[in-house]
Structure 1
Amino acid sequence: MKHLLNKKLHVKHVAAFIVLPLGAALVILILLLKSGTNPATVQAKTAESKEVPPVKVNPVHDTSALGLLNSYVDSLNTAGQLFGGSWSFYLTELNSGKAICSVNIDQGLSPASVMKIVTTGTALTLLGPDFRFSTLLQYNGTIDSATVNQKGEKIKILKGNIYIKGEGDPSLGSEVFGSSVNDVMKEWAGAIKKMGIDSIAGNIIADGQSYESNPVPQCWTWEDMQCDYGTGPGGLNIHENIFDMLVTPDKHGTSLKLNPAIPGLKLYNEIIHNPSVPKSYVFVVGAPFQFERTAMGEVSAAMVGKSAIPDPALFCAESLKSELCKNGIGVRDTPTTLRQLRLNQLTISPNEYLDSLPLKKGKKDSRKLILEDHSPTLAELVYHTNQVSQNFYAESILRGLAWKLNGFGSDIGGIDIIYHFWKTKGLDLRGLCMADGCGLARMNTITTHQIVGMLREYAQDSAIFPAFYKSLPVAGESGTIRKLADGTEADGNLHAKSGTMARVKAYAGYVRAHNGKMLCFAMIGNNTLWSEAELSGKFARLFVLMARLN
């Protein structure tokens, strides 16, 4: 240093002493900034060797009853099992109509047997809970009492025909309502005998012309028609238009015994005895009015199957003739139906044709009444229809609407009446396609918005609501939902009609919430990847969550 001080300083020496340290400091500062280090805190960090872990904040969940319901609905909305499928859910307060939860409520979906809510509720409204179907036993011609038999005894001969005029009663001869084919025939034969008639110089003619002759709705599939649940109604029904078929395994395979026996039916038996089949099944292949049929299926043990009577009206006439013969009353001609007479182009008098039509004001029936049978009340029929989901009764009621209000029982006529009724109620019918009365037709579609609107309308009609509400199965207790929500808040509380077909599950009805308010709902799933049992379980969970609402 002394050496330097003793020398004369130049400008370049001063620049070196000043510029070089400043440059080094600038480089260090730039490096610190690039590394994200705050120069002001370099010294402070020397005492800290570990980083403080970030604080985790848990999302807030709504644990209220409504929050849990909405959360569960959200989980269904985002489930992968909805790929390729659809579902809809609508829940409202019954009185106010205030929406509580809604998902795809204006999407038309297949409701399966929930369609029975439309048919039965509308019929109760338009016909009344006390309406009854009728079946008339009639005759025409004269009763001649001047004839003497071989024993020299005077006998009364009916020179005319006996008519059985049906007006669509689905319960005639039904064991569900404490009757049978034998009971009905004994009553009718007894009434004829009571008139003193000893012989009939004519025929027994079944008249089912009050309804369209084809018992099967146009949109039903061939597969469904072969099963007992695919039996359709006519103007004259008997024993719910089915026969029981006892299938018994034997050394030749299987044997069949029918009850009641059907005259003229040729039934080929191709039912296999297979001890290892997981679930026995039988069905009969054949169309309406076809008397040559084939029984098919597999059974592991004896079982009873059911199948449609080919021509229920003809079976009525044949059964009555058989009972009359047992009572010593002969019938000259072979039993027949008005339908057969017309198909065979046999002569029918103008009066006979007119008498097959509904009576109009001022019109006189040339037939004379022997006896009139009445069905149980419509309220009772609707109860049975909805509790066990009986397709045959639902179709009978649909055609009964048209018969009573239009004079001819047809599917189209009944559906038109239902459309008109709900249109006058201001219901938006877009999305509704009604192809039958029971829901078996795959063409049926309806929205949950429409179903809930109908349920609310029924509830506002005090004349019909008690009967309609009573007809709906009760969760955990009765009908088709007796095994659902057992032991929960919905048990004994929720009343609903169910609907089930392949790839279809639906429920609709009423439930009282925890806060005492009555709610109405509809839920439908179509073509999801959930199995039928899985989707039923999902919907049963909704039953419980709805019942817990405050």
Structure 2
Amino acid sequence: MTSAFADTDIDTINKILNRSELLKTNYTLYIKNISKRNKVFSYNEQKAFNPASLMKLVTTYTGLQILGPQFQWKTEVLYKGALKNKHLYGDLIIKSYGDATLTYSDLSEIIEKVQQKGIQHIHGNIIIEESFFGELQNQDFIDDKKYRAYNVNPKSFVVNQNTINFNFSIENEKINIQTFPELQILKVINHLKFTDQSCNSWKDNLGYEVETKLNVTEITFNGRYDKTCESKDIDLSVLSANRLSNGLFEKLWKIHGGSIEGEFKNTYQNTTDALKFYEHLSRPLSLVVRDINKYSQNLLARNLLLTMLAENNGNPITENEAGRFAKESLMKEKMKLDSLEIDNGAGLSRKAKVSAEDLGFLLERAYDSLYMPEFVASLPNLGIDGTLKSRGKKLSVAKHAYLKTGSIQNVNAIAGYIFDKNNDVKVFVFIANDPKANESSKIQDELIEWTYLN
């Protein structure tokens, strides 16, 4: 085992690592005290590993550097034709710029304000214009759970991250399923059966089939639901992005008192000769990076990566090109990232690679950067919030570590900052690519605790 250290007990770390069942070649560990600028421990640090969602650290740091924390995505409402007494004799155009944070309530607000400003009855079509990204090629799903929210592919115009929320509850010894938002084009068929076991793996026990008949999509739940589960929620992407956004727009337009005579049409061509009527702005990137890192939001990360390229007039807009652009931008800052392979901004990939040393160097550079407060605050605080809310609560390091986790099949990783008991800041990176990787959390926690105490 190759290692480097300063003023620390290397044997203790080796003993912790040796308690794992991971093959020696299948994991990497990198610890550096960036307050004192000395490496504490490293192993396999130059070997490239699949980092899973740790790739979001690269995406969010690069996004802050290129776009700035004040950056906001915009969604424009334009029109063509004649406007008279709240009647539009022409087309209403929704021009999107990649805002993956756009929610059902955001869309409702946009529609309400457009109608208040003077367009209520449309004697024409609704055009969804997505020239900003253009027509993207969908990437293969990371697993066989194609309807799960984490598998949603990026798109320039997307509402509710292209998901419907399904709430399961038990009333009068019956399983109820409610959807939000409700749409007439979606029908739920409930064939769920009760079990008396455990609620721990309730999502894995759900079986569902999706089928579209004419203009109605049916989702049939035919798995098991445990009596101890009480109320649970899952977000599923059961409608195509166009069908969901169009259905939500039509519903909300009519709820607010409007009417539409024409059809919904999608285009990837830039709209010309249209008049701008209203503009909606997202929350600033300084807040969006918190959603991406604290809650590991895949679609937001993927759209952020594409936005960097699109905002810099990249062509063609693809995830591979966006990844290449991000890497080149970082290397122009004289960052050593030879190991980095990024084909989407979320790490939802079997091809993504980075070494612990390179990722550790990025974390060190981020801590010294102008946007350090926004970046560090975006990471889950151990035992406090995000994906680490329920982890490590009884450890001494709880509250003192800001760490991003990553996990896909045979990959488990964690990286970030530890503010140790001596008031030093340490960068910590652990990545395992191994059939038993997902059993390594206990070893990770021991290493994180050791790093805090020493």
Same fold (TM over 0.5): yes
Q: Aligned with 1:192: secondary structure? A: helix
2:263 aligns with 334
How far apart, CA to CA, are the structure 2 residues paired with 1:80 and 1:541? 11
Separation of aligned partners in 2, 1:467 and 1:505? 25
Question: 2:80, 2:389 → 1: CA distance?
Answer: 51
Question: Whole-Å Cα distance in 1 between the matches of residues 193 and 321 of structure 2?
Answer: 43
Matched, 1:547 2:452: yes
Which has the larger share of strand? 2
Q: CA deviation at 1:198?
A: 5.3
Give 2:270's match in structure 1, choosing from 354, 362, 372.
354
CA RMSD of aligned residues (A): 3.1
Q: Which runs of 5+ in 2 are unaligned?
A: none
Q: Tell me by how many angstroms 1:183 deviates.
A: 5.5
Q: Structure 1 counterpart of 2:89, which letter?
A: K
Q: Which string of whole-angstrom CA distances, capped at 9 and with x for unpartnered residues, describes residues 402-436 of structure 1?
A: 22123565312320111112322334444332232
User: What is the alpha-carbon distance in structure 2 between the residues aligned to residue 226 and residue 156 of structure 1?
Assistant: 40
What's the secondary structure of 2:12's corresponding residue?
helix
Q: 2:14 aligns with which of 61, 68, 74?
A: 74
CA deviation after TM superposition for structure 1 residue 335, in Å? 2.5
Cα distance in 1 for residues equivalent to 2:392 and 2:171: 43
The 1:511–1:186 alpha-carbon spacing in structure 2 relative to 1, beyond 3 Å, is: closer
Any idea what the Cα deviations from partners look like across 1:203-233, whole Å, max 9, x if unmatched? 11222332254584x2433424221222233
Deviation of residue 481 (structure 1)? Answer: 2.3
In the other structure, the counterpart of 2:154 is: 233
Question: Counterpart amino acid of 1:336?
Answer: K
In structure 2, the CA distance between the partners of 1:338 and 1:273, relative to structure 1 (3 Å rule), is farther
Q: 2:133 aligns with which of 211, 214, 230?
A: 211
Matches of residues 4-403 of structure 1 in structure 2 within 5 Å?
66-68=7-9, 70-79=10-19, 81-83=21-23, 86-94=26-34, 97-143=37-83, 145=84, 155=85, 157-173=87-103, 181-182=104-105, 184-195=107-118, 197=119, 199-214=121-136, 216=138, 218-247=139-168, 256-265=177-186, 271-276=192-197, 279-281=201-203, 282=206, 284=208, 292=217, 294-296=219-221, 297-301=223-227, 303-308=232-237, 310-338=239-267, 353-355=269-271, 365-403=272-310
Q: Which 5+ residue runs of structure 1 have no aligned equivalent?
A: 1-63, 146-154, 174-180, 340-352, 356-364
In structure 2, distance between residues paired with 1:318 and 1:133: 22
Would the alpha carbon gap of residues 138 and 479 (structure 1) be closer, same or farther in structure 2, given more than 3 Å must change? same
What is the number of equivalent residue pairs in this alignment?
440
Residues 1:213 and 1:258: Cα distance change in structure 2 (over 3 Å): farther
Alpha-carbon separation, structure 1, partners of 2:120 and 2:337: 58
**What secondary structure is seen at the aligned counterpart in 1 of 2:49?**
coil
- CA distance, structure 2, for counterparts of residue 285 and residue 208 of structure 1: 30
Distance 1:471 1:480 in 2: 12
Q: Which has the larger radius of gyration?
A: 1
How far does the alpha carbon of each residue in 1:116-160 deviate from its partner, in whole angstroms, 9 at most, with x for none?
1011111011110110000111111122x4xxxxxxxxx553221
Residues 217-258 of structure 1 show CA distances to partners (whole Å, capped at 9, x for unaligned) of x24334242212222331112122211123457999966432
CA separation in 2, counterparts of 1:309 and 1:209?
25
CA contact (8 A) 1:138 1:162 kept: yes
CA contact (8 A) 2:16 2:446 kept: no
- Identical columns (%): 20
Query: Partner of 1:405 in structure 2?
Result: 312
Secondary structure at the aligned position of 1:160 is classed as strand
Could you say which residue in structure 2 is the equivalent of 1:22? none
**92-101 vs 383-392, which deviates more?**
92-101
**Structure number with higher relative contact order (C-alpha < 8 Å, ≥ 6 residues apart):** 2
For 2:331 and 2:155, how far apart are their aligned partners in 1? 28
Query: How has the CA–CA distance of structure 1 residues 268 and 326 changed in structure 2, closer, same or farther, with 3 Å as cutoff?
Result: closer
Give yes or no for contact 1:65–1:548 (8 Å, CA) kept in 2.
Answer: no
Q: Secondary structure at the match of 2:330?
A: helix
The 3-state SS of whatever aligns with 1:354 is: coil
Q: Which moved more, 1:242-251 or 1:375-384?
A: 242-251
The residue that corresponds to 2:443 in the other structure is 538
AA matched with 1:231: V
Comparing 162-171 with 328-337, greater Cα deviation is found at: 328-337
Instruction: State the AA in 1 paired with 2:69.
Output: P
Amino acid at match of 1:157: H
Q: Which SS does the other structure have where 1:140 is aligned?
A: strand
Q: Which residue of 2 aligns with 1:31?
A: none
1:484/1:117 CA distance change after superposition, 3 Å: same
Query: 1:138 touches 1:371 (CA, 8 Å); kept in 2?
Result: yes
Paired residues of 1:219 and 1:435 also in contact (CA < 8 A): no
> Which of the two has greater helix per residue?
1
SS at match of 2:27: strand
